[in-house]
Structure 1
Amino acid sequence: MSHPLAKIRRLFELIEPIATISFSESVDRAFREVGMRNFWDGYFAGRAAPLGRAPAEVVHAVFYNFAEGEVARHIPWVWGRISPEEAIALRERASAAALRHKLGTLAEDAGLRRVADLAARAALSAPTDGRVLYAGLRGIEVPDEPVARLWHACTLLREHRGDGHIAALMAHGIGGIEGHALLAASFGLTLETFGRTHHLPKARLDAVTSALAERGLVDRVGALTTAGRETKQRIEDLTDSLAAAPYLALSPAEIDELIAGLEPVFAAAYEHVPLDS
């Protein structure tokens, strides 16, 4: 049974801040305490760990949105300080602690177990075909404790959607940095001012903007054109469609129950820090 794509989109919006608490200051601090040099060491160690000791080229391909050479500054260096198995455990422990802190008394609410169970049932139900990072995460044992279980389920659902988003970008001929350009433009920003790309060489950013301008997707200063807005919307719509599979495990009533249950968690966890397009 399919569900309205508006509800699939809403679930993405609710799940995002819960999953991305893994990129918060307290989780970064936990990784630094075991030898990571900076935020990105911990980011790559934690997020790439389900892939095992995959080389930088593979992680770059799976993550898609990073510029050439960025992954190689961290992979495989991080594996000399922490193993993938240790990174998985540390990330889960620190992320659950960070989420628990955000939730306060809500973390002890009896209803949170039901929300976590619904999210986990959906997260574990989708096919793994073509979903590399999602497949890697599926090999990790699901925590039983409700807060950790909810974070883990939301991370699975986020990466399932992320794998589909990459497919949608590729289907529209949009490269990783070009995806950031479209996202930045939708916020009224340029690549030079967008948080995920501002550090890249100006010549590289200019080349991305020029390539999109030649296709009529942005103007000469990087603002979205009508064609650019339409293309971005098609990508988002396809991404939502491709993200629907996990939720087929839930009934319409359970989907509504999950959305209602996630609302207060979202309100407590929300931090708008877009890291990926």
Structure 2
Amino acid sequence: MDAMLARDMWKATEPLHTVTYFAEECRTANKEVGLKGYWMGYFGSRGAPLGAVSAGTIEATFFGFHPARVRRAIPDAWGFASPEAILRVRGEAAARALRRAFPGIDDVAATAAPQLREVVLAADGAGRALFAANRDLPVPEDPVEALWQAITALREHRGDGHVALLTGEGLTGLEANVLASAVGTVKAEWLLESRGWSQEEWDEAADALAGRGLLEQGEATDEGRGLRARIERRTDELAASPYRVLDEPEALYESLVPAAKALADEMPFPNPIGLPRVG
């Protein structure tokens, strides 16, 4: 499987994963289990596979969020709902959202979930904390929930690799956000709102990038665009490796596309993730 197909697979699987952030079923499940507000729900639900970890662990693994935004939710979240309780409801809620948004998801899951589990087991967990934590969760008996869980694990595998590349280039989480905006991946206002940074902090990070020759007057230079392109290309290459366990990864991709197109209505475009529509 090449890097291009790995990127296409991300476009086809990410909409299925992101119901956990945008779908009403998932937001309601977070509230009913005891989490308070959207951001506690987000950090608590996504971080639950790691256990009742510190705010610092969430800051490091999630990357790019303002520490104050994280610390308003973590570790308080674990006092309202244990990671075990959160894990019991998050996959069930995601499966309900998937079935509502795409009634044919059970047929897709019957064939795709076992294949994606193979990919999960073939992936290397070294240095990938969020992936490894999700990989080691029990496989749900419900095929749709199992599909969502496998997609989530592989999503975190890709993300962990991406964060490693960003830090390897000496970029802070905020600087990575500023560079993504400067190359046109995500609008600055989306990242400021969703990641919790102030305009002053954003401007300071932009100045730091300008000092490295990556930005000029708020716009990415050729060097900045080149750096971002190299990071994205290498992210795709690292994400492709575990899919090579499959004989026909292209067929798996094609089976997921109809669901991805249907689930696109569950998330905003543009979005803070920088995900384009599939197809």
- The CA deviation string for residues 227-269 of structure 1, in whole angstroms up to 9 with x for no partner, is 1111100000111111122212112xx2011111111111111
Q: CA RMSD in A?
A: 1.9
Q: Matches of residues 156-171 of structure 1 in structure 2 within 5 Å?
A: 156-171=153-168
Q: Do 2:65 and 2:195's aligned partners in 1 also have CA atoms closer than 8 Å? A: no
Structure 1 residues 190 and 215: CA distance shift in structure 2, 3 A? farther
Q: Give 1:12's match in structure 2, choosing from 7, 10, 13.
A: 10
> Across the two proteins, how many residue pairs are aligned to each other?
270
Structure 1 residues 199 and 65: CA distance shift in structure 2, 3 A? closer
TM-score (norm 2): 0.90
After the TM superposition, list the runs of 4 or more consecutive aligned residues in structure 1 that deviate by more than 4 angstroms: 195-199
Following TM superposition, by how much is the alpha carbon of 1:68 offset from its aligned partner in structure 2, in angstroms? 2.4
Letter in 2 for 1:88: L
Q: Do 1:133 and 1:160's aligned partners in 2 also have CA atoms closer than 8 Å? A: yes
In the alignment, structure 1 residue 262 sits paired with structure 2 residue 256: yes
Bigger helix fraction: 2
Following TM superposition, by how much is the alpha carbon of 1:9 offset from its aligned partner in structure 2, in angstroms? 1.0
Q: Matches of residues 85-100 of structure 1 in structure 2 within 5 Å?
A: 85-100=84-99
Counterpart of 1:23 in structure 2 is 21
Counterpart of 2:54 in structure 1 is 55
- The CA deviation string for residues 17-40 of structure 1, in whole angstroms up to 9 with x for no partner, is 111111014111221223322111
Specify the SS of the correspondent of 2:93: helix
Counterpart of 1:244 in structure 2 is 240
Unmatched segments (≥5 aa) in structure 2? 275-279
CA distance in 1, matches of 2:195, 2:149: 31
Q: Do 2:186 and 2:272's aligned partners in 1 also have CA atoms closer than 8 Å? A: no
Identity of aligned residues (%): 36
Letter in 1 for 2:11: E
Specify the SS of the correspondent of 2:215: coil
Q: Do 1:192 and 1:198's aligned partners in 2 also have CA atoms closer than 8 Å? A: no
Q: Give 2:181's match in structure 1, choosing from 181, 184, 188.
A: 184
- The CA deviation string for residues 48-72 of structure 1, in whole angstroms up to 9 with x for no partner, is 1111111111111111111222211
CA distance in 2, matches of 1:189, 1:261: 28
Structure 1 residues 9 and 246: CA distance shift in structure 2, 3 A? same
Unmatched segments (≥5 aa) in structure 1? none
In the alignment, structure 1 residue 76 sits paired with structure 2 residue 70: no
CA distance in 1, matches of 2:235, 2:160: 9
